[in-house]
């Protein structure tokens, strides 16, 4: 978005959507399955506070991610249409980009806290 080039935004947004499907979507499945397996293998009870908080934060990140997927697809479509027509991006593009960014903050923050919880396993 910083370049101001609608053509570049069309290409990059296509790659962002592709990367999200290639990397994030499989991770949404693999992480809970591997986490369940590891917790079971080590013998951690499911009511362990740091584990419960991790699960809740993971759900929060997922709740943020679902609308982001829709927003990314719409951003890609708007950028590609504007580039094909030689037009500027519509105001809605910038509004969606703002929503996309704002949803990223709690999701990223949740993942950082989960990382901390898994490494240090604090007694809460």
Report pLDDT for 1: 73
pLDDT of 124 over the 90 cut: no
Q: What would the pLDDT profile of 47-99 be if each residue is shown by its tens digit?
A: 999 999 999 999 999 999 999 999 999 999 999 999 999 999 999 999 999 99
Q: Give me the mean pLDDT over the 102-119 stretch.
A: 97
pTM: 0.86
Q: Give me the mean pLDDT over the 7-23 stretch.
A: 91
Report pLDDT for 4: 78
Among 9, 26, 23, smallest CA distance to 100 is for 9
CB of 89 within 8 A of CB of 6?
A: yes
Q: What would the pLDDT profile of 30-53 be if each residue is shown by its tens digit?
A: 999 999 999 999 999 999 999 999
Cα(9)–Cα(6) distance, integer angstroms = 5
Tokens 């509004």: give the residue: 95
Report pLDDT for 20: 87
Copy the structure tokens of residue 23.
């990397």
Distance of CA 52 to the CA centre of its chain: 21
Tokens 């950082």: give the residue: 112
Cα(79)–Cα(9) distance, integer angstroms = 6
Report pLDDT for 87: 95
Question: Helix-strand-coil percent breakdown of the chain, rounded to 5?
Answer: 85, 0, 15
pLDDT of 115 over the 90 cut: yes
């Amino acid at each position: 978005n910083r370049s101001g080039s609608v053509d570049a935004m069309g290409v990059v947004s296509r790659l962002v959507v592709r990367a999200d499907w290639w990397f994030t979507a499989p991770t949404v499945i693999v992480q809970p399955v591997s986490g369940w397996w590891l917790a079971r293998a080590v013998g951690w009870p499911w009511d362990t506070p740091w584990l419960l908080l991790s699960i809740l934060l993971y759900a929060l990140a997922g709740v943020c991610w679902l609308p982001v997927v829709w927003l990314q697809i719409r951003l890609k479509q708007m950028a590609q249409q504007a580039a094909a027509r030689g037009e500027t991006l519509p105001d809605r593009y910038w509004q969606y980009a703002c929503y996309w960014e704002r949803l990223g903050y709690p999701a990223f923050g949740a993942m950082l806290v989960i990382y901390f919880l898994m490494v240090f396993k604090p007694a809460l």
